[in-house]
Structure 1
Amino acid sequence: MKKSMEIPDCQYPSGPVLVQPSGPTPKHRLYLSNLDDQKFLRFSIKYLYVFREAVPIDRLRSALSDILVHYFPLAGRLTRVVSGGGSEEGLESEEKLEVDCNGEGAIMAEGFVDISANEFCSRPPNRSWRKLLYRVPDASTFLGVPPLVIQVTHLTCGGMILCTAINHCLCDGIGTSQFLHAWAQATANPLSDPQVMPFHDRTMLKPRKPPQNNFPHPEYGVDLIGNNSSSSLSLNQFLLSQPLTPISLTFSSSHILHLKKQCTPSIKCTSFEILAVHVWRAWAKSLELPSTLQIKLLFSANVREKIKPNLPQGFYGNGFVLGCAETPVNQLLASNPYYGIRLIQLAKQSLHDGYVRSVIDLLEEKGSIPDMSASLVISAWSRLGLEELDFGSGKPLHMGPLTSEIYCVFAPVVGDLGAINVVISVPEGVAERFKHYCIKGFEEREEKSEIEGVNNGERYCEIVF
């Protein structure tokens, strides 16, 4: 009989604590740029780490308290912008957010779960992992959740699982990695200062006056090519109509090299570009989309060095915009991967300073949200150094997302710099087709192992081949 994929419930020996900065911090309102407070970023980035050996909770708390002196906005609270020209009866904006840097503190919870690190790592991602992140009671709104929530869960083997939820309005992937490494360094070496000091100010990303929307922005559904609104709506309804199945697929460096060799003519490309095209094609095939439907691949692109002047070292806010490759389904599927790679590369080339400024101005005028109606969204975590985190007891056995229901995540593989773990959720009715198209062409080259489980009517799959 197969073991259940669901992990046991967490036991909490005591309630969570508020970890406040260990020293005085500025008390003011921090401006959030239009790239920061986009509506589609109003959630927390949730990371999950598994460590062979636990770090004493007191050391983690003390180091966090020290590092929050430097990253004091993470100890504050998100709030709506108050406007009113200095009047005591100022009005709250329904749209714009800022951070009240009040030093209230981050939440840290401590738990225990009856499972070992090896047992946990042998199970594929599933929704029971949510038990490993403390749920803030009475937080009925996005603003009710502190910017930083942490749970340390002790395992039967003496290891620990560390889950962090960092508000995306304050940090992007580069920023979260910078903060986590600073915390890890402070834990392992309490007397050391952060290797990179955080840069808090985001005013260099303010919109122009007047705003200048100088470019088409297909990532936000502005100036779309063609008219596929009804088909896109049908696809969106289909994607929302079925339970989602989380799938994890690990591509080794040899797999990625094999994919690159399929390009005709040969093209110089990154691992992200070839794997993104491969997953995009498998996604479109598995959904059996209408051949003329215009579909999009949206991906986060770092613009710290695209902006003029460049964003300062240590900037940990949102310094990315969405790149957008788009094409009719039939052209993507009928063409060699070379075609999709060129679409991604051309999209990257368009992300210059003027384009980024146009995005900021567009958000100022319209508060647009990304066009998700017929889009696959990929967030790349595989080159951020997230898997190198060391709190003094060694690097993690596993690093990845806590959940993958919103985006496809390209996560790092611990111990294999060239490998990428693709974590994605698809409607359960297409899961088998999606897996088939992802691994098609590899079966004769290597053996593959497949783990499947059933939990509360949902199927969870992990493939390593």
Structure 2
Amino acid sequence: MAAIDTPLTFTVRRRAPELIVPAKPTPRELKPLSDIDDQEALLIQMPVILVYRSNPKMRSKNPASVIREALAKLLVFYYPFAGRLKAGPEGKLMVDCSAEGVLFIEAEADVTLSQIGDALPPPSPFMEELLYDVPGSSGILYSPLLLIQVTRLLCGGFIFAIRFNHTMTDGAGLVQFLSGLDEIARGAKSPSTLPVWQRELLCSSDPLPITLTLTKGTPVDMVHKSLFFTTTEISALRKLVPVHLQSCTTFEVLTACLWRCRTIALQTNPEDEMPIIWTFNARKMFNPPLPVGYYGNVLAFPAAISTARDLCNKPFAHALELVMKTKSVVTKENIRSVSDLKAINGRYNYAGIRPYLVSDLTRLGFDEIDFGWGKAAYGGVCKGGVAAIPGLSSFYIPYTNNKGESGIVILICLPNGVMDRFVKEINNMLVQAKDNEVLLEHVLLEHELPALSKL
């Protein structure tokens, strides 16, 4: 995707943040998190944005007012989100269902979606304006569990941004919450899928931790970029796949490609073990199944592993085959308890090595959330590298650009010099696959835009 040629500046005017509380009285109680929720890797605030075009049928509606009213009604059902997280005995995390409310900001920006153009996918230098970090709100304990900002645009479109405490829910659970918000915003009395807490189902007396053990390195200057792979580029990469691996999925092809190119770019010790980890929604693997409406974290973290030497020197098929085999083994397993889930997450020791985590959001349905304005033009996380360790994670997000080309945006976070080498390796693979020159600008999203004027 081509770089944006013209500088873009605009101003965002925000109303004072307010706390939205449940529209009706809710139970005052303490609700412990599960053993899957309650782990170090999820002690983060995760931002997500949804972008909406103008809808003539909704011209008389203020999206901020519609969503504010729907939110108060939805919190009657999802009342733990209106509480505060606290540490109980022996550090066990639990929600104090205090009905203190979630933070909500109404804002306006003097810009249109057409002016923003293909700068919709992050990273963008104005995200801090579209999701204002209210002072004192970003802690894990004793802070609001949700922060929402609705920013209206001159064209009649708007941007919905939400930051959620990841200990409370995963991506699938957040989509369930937002789908309920969508339904109530469009007139429903209640969400069609009622929320289920029952976190005790994923608790265990087994003291073994499920937290990924990761060694934090020395902080370095990190660079955020996005790669846009059209269906054409993805098909081209498949030309590198040998016949016996042709059953591979798009996720497996892209993951193997990123794993190999990132390893080459890192220029690490050839004997270093380089695991590729991915988040896996384990809901369908439980036997008996979890109740419909369960919105806690149900994540597995399977991993494929190889030395840097083999990833760099062996053909692309080496990385792809490892990813496919690991994924095949995990998807065939049945999970009966949290201990089974721990077994999947504990197969590898990640201390002292250079892990890479990818999360596929292409089928979660963020872009299906409507609010009455139609499907989102973009729906997904705000940047890569969002984790306890900078540069660890990447996200796959569905996207269609202004030319009508569909594909997947992948958010990347790497040290400055490593990023340059990584992009070069990606380009080399595409050139090899297409047997001709591929302009890097067609893939790389360069959001080198000046910062907004501050209020």
Unaligned runs of 5+ in 1: 84-92, 222-231, 458-465
How far does residue 297 in structure 1 lie from its aligned partner after superposition?
A: 0.8
- TM-score (normalizing by structure 2): 0.83
Partner residue of 2:79 out of 72, 96, 110: 72
Partner residue of 1:357 out of 327, 330, 339: 339
Q: Equivalents in 1 of 2:349, 2:294: separation in Å?
A: 24
Q: Equivalents in 2 of 1:114, 1:401: separation in Å?
A: 23
Are residues 1:442 and 2:443 paired?
A: no
How far does residue 48 in structure 1 lie from its aligned partner after superposition?
A: 1.1
SS class of match (2:30): strand
Q: Equivalents in 1 of 2:133, 2:110: separation in Å?
A: 19
Show the counterpart of 1:409: 395
Stretch moving more, 69-78 or 432-441: 432-441
Show the counterpart of 2:13: 11
4+ residue segments displaced more than 6 Å: 415-418
Q: Equivalents in 2 of 1:434, 1:452: separation in Å?
A: 15
Question: Deviations 1:39-81 (Å, cap 9, x if unpaired)?
Answer: 1211122111221127432211111111111111111111111
SS class of match (2:290): coil
Q: Is the 8 A contact 2:272 2:353 kept in 1?
A: no
How far does residue 100 in structure 1 lie from its aligned partner after superposition?
A: 1.0
- TM-score (normalizing by structure 1): 0.82
Q: Equivalents in 1 of 2:405, 2:33: separation in Å?
A: 34
One-letter code aligned to 1:280: W
SS class of match (1:196): coil
Q: Is the 8 A contact 1:303 1:319 kept in 2?
A: yes
How far does residue 344 in structure 1 lie from its aligned partner after superposition?
A: 2.4
Q: Is the 8 A contact 1:39 1:369 kept in 2?
A: no
Question: Deviations 1:294-340 (Å, cap 9, x if unpaired)?
Answer: 11111101111223322111111101121111110111222333322
Question: Deviations 1:1-37 (Å, cap 9, x if unpaired)?
Answer: 95446x545322x311211111232221112111102
What percentage of aligned pairs have identical amino acids? Answer: 28
Show the counterpart of 1:281: 260
Stretch moving more, 117-126 or 247-256: 117-126
How far does residue 378 in structure 1 lie from its aligned partner after superposition?
A: 0.8
Q: Is the 8 A contact 1:175 1:317 kept in 2?
A: yes
Q: Is the 8 A contact 1:108 1:149 kept in 2?
A: yes
Q: Is the 8 A contact 1:152 1:162 kept in 2?
A: yes
Are residues 1:421 and 2:409 paired?
A: yes
Are residues 1:399 and 2:379 paired?
A: yes
Q: Equivalents in 1 of 2:223, 2:379: separation in Å?
A: 20
Are residues 1:118 and 2:146 paired?
A: no
Q: Equivalents in 1 of 2:292, 2:231: separation in Å?
A: 31
How far does residue 342 in structure 1 lie from its aligned partner after superposition?
A: 3.0
Q: Is the 8 A contact 2:63 2:158 kept in 1?
A: no
SS class of match (2:223): strand
Q: Equivalents in 2 of 1:453, 1:203: separation in Å?
A: 44
Q: Is the 8 A contact 1:321 1:356 kept in 2?
A: no
Q: Equivalents in 1 of 2:189, 2:334: separation in Å?
A: 37
Stretch moving more, 377-386 or 48-57: 48-57
Q: Is the 8 A contact 1:38 1:369 kept in 2?
A: no
Are residues 1:249 and 2:227 paired?
A: yes
How far does residue 173 in structure 1 lie from its aligned partner after superposition?
A: 0.8
Please show how residues 95-244 of structure 1 align to structure 2 within 5 Å.
Answer: 95-123=91-119, 125-139=123-137, 141-188=139-186, 190-208=187-205, 210-211=206-207, 220=213, 236-237=217-218, 240-241=219-220, 243-244=221-222
When the two chains are superposed, the root-mean-square deviation of aligned CA atoms in Å is 3.1
Q: Is the 8 A contact 2:300 2:344 kept in 1?
A: no
Show the counterpart of 2:236: 258
Q: Equivalents in 1 of 2:118, 2:62: separation in Å?
A: 22
Stretch moving more, 113-122 or 38-47: 113-122
After superposition, the Cα gap between the structure-2 partners of 1:140 and 1:160, relative to the gap in structure 1 and judged at 3 Å, is closer
Please show how residues 37-76 of structure 1 align to structure 2 within 5 Å.
Answer: 37-53=38-54, 55-76=62-83
Q: Is the 8 A contact 2:202 2:338 kept in 1?
A: no
After superposition, the Cα gap between the structure-2 partners of 1:417 and 1:145, relative to the gap in structure 1 and judged at 3 Å, is farther
Show the counterpart of 2:57: none
SS class of match (2:284): coil
Q: Equivalents in 1 of 2:349, 2:177: separation in Å?
A: 27
RCO comparison, higher one (Cα < 8 Å, 6+) = 2
Q: Equivalents in 1 of 2:208, 2:375: separation in Å?
A: 46
Q: Equivalents in 2 of 1:159, 1:211: separation in Å?
A: 50
